Amino acid sequence: MARGRISRLSVRDIRFPTSLGGHGSDAMHTDPDYSAAYVILETDAEDGLKGYGITFTLGRGTEVVVCAVNALAHHVLNRDLGDIVGDFRGFYRQLTSDGQLRWIGPEKGVVHLATAAILNAVWDLWAKQEGKDPRRLLSCIDFRYITDVLTEEEAHEILQRGQVGKREREEQMLTEGYPAYTTSCAWLGYPDATLQQLCSEALKDGWTRFKVKVGADLQDDIRRCQLIRNMIGPEKTLMMDANQRWDVPEAVEWMARLAEFRPLWIEEPTSPDDILGHAAISKALAPLGIGVATGEQCHNRVIFKQLLQAKALQFLQIDSCRLGSINENLAVLLMAKKFDVPVCPHAGGVGLCELVQHLIIFDFISVSASLKDRMCEYVDHLHEHFKYPVRIKKASYMPPKDAGYSTEMKEESVKKHQYPDGEVWKKLLAAPGD
């Protein structure tokens, strides 16, 4: 039984000045300050538990998401948590279908990011209060706009089949963890020396799967990919990520030039909205043995539905903060299972690893039941700001042990990084030249 009435929603603008070191840089986002709109829900229950939720942003614009969270707050305040999760599908639809607010979405961009932050906090709070019944999960999903591909009955059957061998998979996760790959070595803004050093350290730490950012300059890409492939050797796995830099024909030509480095996938070759474009690229690159991966900027389940229908991707990358929290990600995991496409979540950012580990381990235990062609992104920074950071062992995510959705930040970190009046930003904004 969920307890308490939501008595307070607060939201804060938290930014980390990651652009100073080129961390997170790619062909389209050259100077990201990894940031978050950070939502805290409080109830009047005596347990004193709070729900923490975030959505990830890149610095400027976080204040816009904060504004949208406040615009949605009236749907949450003074509601009983029991009523919210008792009709979670209805609550989800209330947030996403507000007759006035939906115009500025719908279910996309700023309002959907704000929705995710709020829902992530609801899940955190609920999960701290009680364990989850997988069957009940279905009642959290809004099937609107996807019934032509997945009905509630089919989803139920998938989850039923997921019960077989579940205990063994749980055991496997507890001992081995979920396989990960690293994006930490090869941000676009890193000089070759940094790249080499980080790559060599990662190899020592047991990493076997590496992602490199590409797309800004072909000669640079060739040099960097050569360098990494040489360092990791022919057996280990290399992925490439263009962060939407190309048009469709350009993506095909460019990747033909990088094929010699044998990437497993090219990620975000073009606009995240271009389903038919991704399908054309997939078709063209299949003979080269290169798959297409996308998802971190796919804004809702309707886009994922079509990517699957059109055979537009070979690796599906869910995001814990862009889609409408667990509710919408569940729908996507189930559709991916139906189409037999492996899910390899987007992570990194601020808190994305903390969040998405829950989703992908659930996917393995209860939905896909497979690790074939599957791995979860990992980026080694900003975890120190979280109260329950991820644990990586032998390049694998070890299952989280604390109740909740792992998104509570340390109060000290929040205070220092609050924008614009935290200590870190006060200093930076006062610096000459800014």
- Please give the positions annotated as active site: 213, 346
Contact call for residue 124 and a second copy (CB under 8 A):
no
Pick between residue 2 and residue 302 the one whose CB is nearest to a second copy. 302
Please say which residue, 96 or 129, places its beta carbon nearer to a second copy: 96
Extract the tokens encoding 375: 């791995």
CA–CA gap between residue 328 and residue 320 (Å, rounded): 9
* Sites for a second copy among residues 245-264 (CB under 8 A): 247-250
Q: Which two tokens stand for residue 371?
A: 């690790």
Q: Are 329 and 356 in contact (CB under 8 A)?
A: no
DSSP code per residue over 99-118: TTGGGG-SSSHHHHHHHHHH
Cβ 251 to a second copy, closest distance in Å?
A: 10
Amino acid identity of residue 361, one-letter, is I
Shortest distance, CB of residue 171 to a second copy, whole angstroms? Answer: 38
Nearer to a second copy, 64 or 414 (CB): 64
Per DSSP, the residues of 167-207 read HHHHHHHHHH-EEEEEEEEE-TTS-HHHHHHHHHHHHHTT-
Closer residue to a second copy in complex, CB, 32/162? 32
Buried b (16+ CB within 10 A) or exposed e, 280-301: bbbebbeebebbbbbbbbbbbb
Taking the complex as a whole, how short is the minimal distance between the CB of residue 399 and a second copy, in angstroms?
29
Output the smallest distance, CB 2 to a second copy, in A: 27
Interatomic CA distance for residues 320 and 347, integer angstroms? 8
C-beta closer to a second copy: residue 381 or 387: 381
Judged by CB under 8 A, the stretch of 140-148, 284-292, 399-407, 412-420 that binds a second copy is: 140-148
Residues sharing a CB contact under 8 Å with residue 227, sequence separation 6 or more, in sequence order = 192, 195, 196
Residue type, 298: C
The pair of three-digit structure tokens given for residue 360, joined into one six-digit string:
């992908």
Query: Considering the complex, what minimum distance in angstroms separates the CB of residue 423 from a second copy?
Result: 21
Nearer to a second copy, 93 or 426 (CB): 93
Candidate list 11, 36, 39, 111; residue touching a second copy; CB under 8 A: 111
Between CA 137 and CA 125 the distance in angstroms is 16
Site for a second copy in 7-36 (CB under 8 A): 28-33
Helix H or strand E segment including 346: none
One-letter amino acid of 271: S
Chain-centroid distance, C-alpha 426:
30
Hey, what are 66's tokens?
């904060």
Token look-up 């474009």 returns 277
Beta-bridge partners for 42: 8, 50
Residue 216 as a binder of a second copy (CB under 8 A): the answer is no
Q: Considering only CA atoms, which of 390, 345, 403, 340 is closest in space to residue 367?
A: 340
Instruction: Kindly state the tokens that stand for 34.
Output: 């990894």
- Map the footprint of a second copy across residues 36-75, applying CB under 8 A: 56-61, 63-65, 67-68, 71
- Tell me how far, at minimum, the Cβ of 397 lies from a second copy, in Å: 24
Using left for φ > 0, alpha for ψ between -120 and 50, and beta otherwise, residue 369 falls in left
Applying CB under 8 A, among 103, 153, 287, 431 the residue interacting with a second copy is 103
CB closer to a second copy, 184 vs 300? 300
| Cα-based torsion angle of the residue sequence 184, 213, 329, 40 in order, rounded to the nearest 10 degrees | 50
Q: What are phi and psi of 146, to 5 degrees?
A: -125, 5
Nearer to a second copy, 74 or 167 (CB): 74
Nearer to a second copy, 267 or 363 (CB): 267
Restricting to residues 226-245, which ones interact with a second copy according to CB under 8 A?
Answer: 244
- Write the interaction track for a second copy spanning residues 301-340; mark x where CB under 8 A is met and - where it is not: -xx-xx--xx------------------------------
With CB under 8 A as the contact rule, the residue among 1, 46, 78, 100 that binds a second copy is: 100
Tell me: does residue 276 bind a second copy (CB under 8 A): yes
Mode of pairing for the β-strands spanning 50-57 and 35-43: antiparallel
Number of residues that bind a second copy (CB under 8 A): 64
Pick from 211, 299, 358, 385 the residue near a second copy by CB under 8 A.
299
Q: Which stretch binds a second copy (CB under 8 A): 3-11, 98-106, 166-174, 222-230?
A: 98-106
Among 105, 177, 179, 324, binds a second copy (CB under 8 A): 105
Using CB under 8 A, which of the segments 81-89, 177-185, 298-306, 424-432 binds a second copy? 298-306
Residues 134, 363: Cα–Cα separation, whole Å = 11
Binding site for a second copy (CB under 8 A): 28-33, 56-61, 63-65, 67-68, 71, 97-113, 143-148, 244, 247-250, 270-277, 280, 297, 299-300, 302-303, 305-306, 309-310
